[in-house]
Amino acid sequence: MCVSLAPAEFSGTTLYCGRLHHADHGLIHVLGYQNTATNLADGPNAMLLHLPAQRMSRHNFLSVGRSSDLLKRMVDAVRPVSVGVVQDSMDWMGWDRSPAVEVFEHNVYTVVLARDPRAVPAALAEVPERRRPALEPELFAFYAERYPGHAIAVCCFDNAQAARAKPLLMWYPPLDPELLTLPALDCHTGGVPDLDSPVPVDHWVILGSDEAPAGWGAPVAYDPVMRHGLRDYLPDAVIGWHFDGVLPNGDFAISHDDVLSGDPERVTRVRP
């Protein structure tokens, strides 16, 4: 359900992507990510997410505070529906300047956020030793080749047992505003993902848009004490489906027009 830097198991993944016009940031995409992780390595580990962002910094990572069940509340709003997907391929657009690499604490993670994946190995020296994983240089060469223009977030953790961390929530100006992409490339060995082998999936894919018409989707009952600053990044209603079984390795993607149509058959599985 994601890429790790050492052997691990991930289950119960929830992915959210929404498009909205923010009062301060303009047109942005908001990505939410949460799973249950079991570290199978002897030492620290990390999960790696590639983000179709024009620019990112630590300020794009949102603290969910006490509202750690916000993705669960989205899932509760739309369950239960189960569907399959079809394979597709799409291109990316644009890029912009941002900090080359940052290392910062967020939730249970030490995050290495890089504009170029090849900057990650040197930056890992700034990660506390208890959370600093070993790495395969070939993995970051793979991302540099296959995901040009993407930000790379390496979320380092040191828990040896399965742990339900708070969801990751981040916003960014997207490379393609009309395409909502949810990173789901899969490899749990620390090596380079095999794009030719199908992988098992257990994902909730949740989508939102502030341009949805009246009556669209299912309203979400958020925590009534949620901070207004966080609520400004979240939709009033969502659509979503549970994907399980075996699918081609890759990400989930859907055009914004198809989000508004609410058709699950329009969700595609895309490869880099």
> Tokens 């208890």 label which residue?
130
Above 90 in pLDDT, residue 2?
no
**What's the pLDDT score for residue 214?**
93
pLDDT per residue as tens digits for the range 22-46:
999 999 999 999 987 778 888 888 9
Strand pairing report for 26-39 and 168-172: antiparallel
The token pair at 180 is 């909502």
pLDDT band at 236 (very low <50, low <70, confident <90, very high): very high
pLDDT per residue as tens digits for the range 137-161:
899 999 999 999 999 999 998 865 4
Strand pairing report for 109-114 and 151-157: antiparallel
Above 90 in pLDDT, residue 86?
no
Cα torsion through 221, 62, 19, 119, rounded to 10 = -150
Q: Do the Cβ atoms of 67 and 32 come closer than 8 Å?
A: no
**What's the pLDDT score for residue 215?**
93
Instruction: For residue 140, give the 3-state DSSP assignment.
Output: helix
